[in-house]
Amino acid sequence: MEAKARRIDVNIKYDDKDISKDLKPYFLSLSYNDVLSGQADDIQITLREKDGIWKSDWMPEKGATLIVSLFSMAWKVLNEEQKEFKLGIFEIDEIEYNGYPETINIKAVSVPDNNTLRGVERTKSWEKTELKVIAQEKADNAGMTLYYDTDVNPVLDRAEQTQQSDLSFLLQLCNDQGLALKICNNQIIIFDEEKYEAVEPQITIVKPYTVYEADEKMSYINSCLNYRFTSKVRDIYAACHVKYQQSKTKETIEATFTAPNKQGKVLEVKEQVESVAEAQRLARKRLREKNRDEITGSISLVGNFDLVASTVVNILGYGNFDGKYIITNAKHDIQNGYTTSVDIRRCLDGY
């Protein structure tokens, strides 16, 4: 096959109007940050201010909507179909005017400020209510859809929202229950990271010049530009012990969860639980929270549409750091070329 140079085209709609051609003479760079959980995805577009129009007539409105996609043109060979990478829907929340040379930076986030999810503080309480019911209420209030991608749906004895935005309150509830939350494409997504980590990887990131036996079912990426791995000991535990004494009956409820194939310290937790089963689940959850960042890494590569947050990958050729990882952050940069940088953490074994 005849090789052809790689090119990435950027498609941008501003309040549903395609402005891609208008932007092209001024476009300098685009940076997209895709986060697994806990904070908004964001995008930054930098434009050359050579005609004076971006700081005046064409200056974007704060709160306007951007819908952004990337298109690969002749990614590998002449007869390959064009690929689209939908980055999502964003709201402009900051505009910078810089010089010299003069540029306009447009910054936008996936969590809109102009609806009730982030822009309104509320006070409300619930009793004996499922987490999914509360999340659905918040999604409905914001005119968004809820994607509840977990079998875990605890009944909360009491949930209290006090002068909090719906987003910060939902994030607090999810953290308390060991669940993750993400906002993108006008969706509230609640999911279980443990469930995502259990998926078998379809992509292997290989250190350049590593010899390996290929699997035809696996996609291999060996375009690493630089890398860093970290393994830590501090605040890492082999087990978690939960103990709680009920105030009325004085009954003590306790349970211990031990990580498979791990030795070391025991994490002691004193939180309210109503049963041994609940204590066991809490112990597993708190141990996971402590240990999930034991082994982490960052890798920069030639740009790749397949590397997004929540994707599980194999790492190969990095010695003791080889193994199964989940992408916690993927940054896609277009500026004199296309690169992807990923933050990863090793998937926990058995919990």
Question: Phi/psi at 139 (nearest 5 deg)?
Answer: -65, -45
pLDDT bracket for residue 246 (50, 70, 90): confident
Contact (Cβ atoms closer than 8 angstroms) between residue 280 and residue 240: no
Q: For 308-338, how does the pLDDT look when each residue is reduced to its tens digit (9 = 90+)?
A: 999 999 999 999 999 999 999 999 999 989 9
Whether the pLDDT of residue 115 is over 70: the answer is no
Amino acid identity, position 97: Y
For 199-232+294-346, which CATH class?
A: mainly beta
Whether the pLDDT of residue 126 is over 80: the answer is yes
For the ranges 20-24, 110-114, 336-340, 342-346, the lowest mean pLDDT is seen at: 110-114
In this prediction, residue 1 carries a pLDDT of 33
In this prediction, residue 185 carries a pLDDT of 86
For the ranges 58-67, 106-115, 205-214, 273-282, the lowest mean pLDDT is seen at: 106-115
Predicted model pTM: 0.90
Q: Is 87 left (phi over 0), alpha (psi -120 to 50) or beta?
A: alpha
In this prediction, residue 112 carries a pLDDT of 73
**Hey, is 59 helix, strand or coil?**
coil
Whether the pLDDT of residue 276 is over 70: the answer is yes
Within 10 Å of residue 72's Cβ, how many Cβ atoms? 20
Q: Would you list the domain boundaries of the chain? A: 7-109, 116-191, 199-232+294-346, 239-291
Q: For 69-83, how does the pLDDT look when each residue is reduced to its tens digit (9 = 90+)?
A: 999 875 554 455 678
Q: Please tell me if the domain spanning 7-109 has the same topology as the one spanning 199-232+294-346.
A: yes
Whether the pLDDT of residue 273 is over 80: the answer is yes
Whether the pLDDT of residue 4 is over 60: the answer is no
In this prediction, residue 118 carries a pLDDT of 82
| Selection from 289, 286, 290, 293 nearest residue 255 by Cα | 286
Mean pLDDT of 17-40: 94
Q: Is it true that domain 7-109 has CATH number 2.40.30?
A: yes
For 116-191, which CATH class?
A: alpha beta
Give the CA count within 13 Å in the CB-facing half-sphere of 166.
23
Q: What percent of the chain has pLDDT over 90?
A: 70
Arithmetic mean of pLDDT over the chain: 91
